[in-house]
Amino acid sequence: MIAYAYRNNLEIKAIFKEIASGINENRKQLLTMLDAIRAGEVQFVIIEYKDRLARFGYNYLHKYIKDYGVDVIIVHQNDNDDVQKELVED
């Protein structure tokens, strides 16, 4: 994602990273990012894959983020078969 930002001349001001499942509802960095979005401190969110933001409820998070005028950039699109496999593994 850093390479993507660099290639596209996007300035990174913060990185919100945690090692947690996309189905985990207790994600402190996600909540910190949402607070920064609400405070107007974020112009865009870059995620490697859609399901890295959330396995379930992605569309709700996407709408919340967009409602604050923030763009969501997804670097790679998952193959549907890969998503199903990862869900089973989680």
CB-based contact 28:16 (threshold 8 Å): no
* pLDDT on residue 85: 59
Please count the residues of the chain: 90
SS3 category, 74: strand
Q: How high is the pLDDT of residue 80?
A: 53
Could you read off the pLDDT tens digit of each residue along the chain, which spans 90 residues?
Answer: 789 999 999 999 899 988 766 666 778 999 999 999 999 999 999 999 888 888 788 999 999 999 999 999 999 987 655 555 555 565
**pTM for the full predicted model:** 0.77
In whole angstroms, give the CA distance from residue 82 to residue 77: 10
2-89 CATH: 3.40.50.1390
Q: What per-residue confidence (pLDDT) applies to 81?
A: 53
CA distance 36 to 28: 12
Alpha helices for 1-90 (secondary structure H): 2-7, 28-38, 50-53, 58-67, 80-89
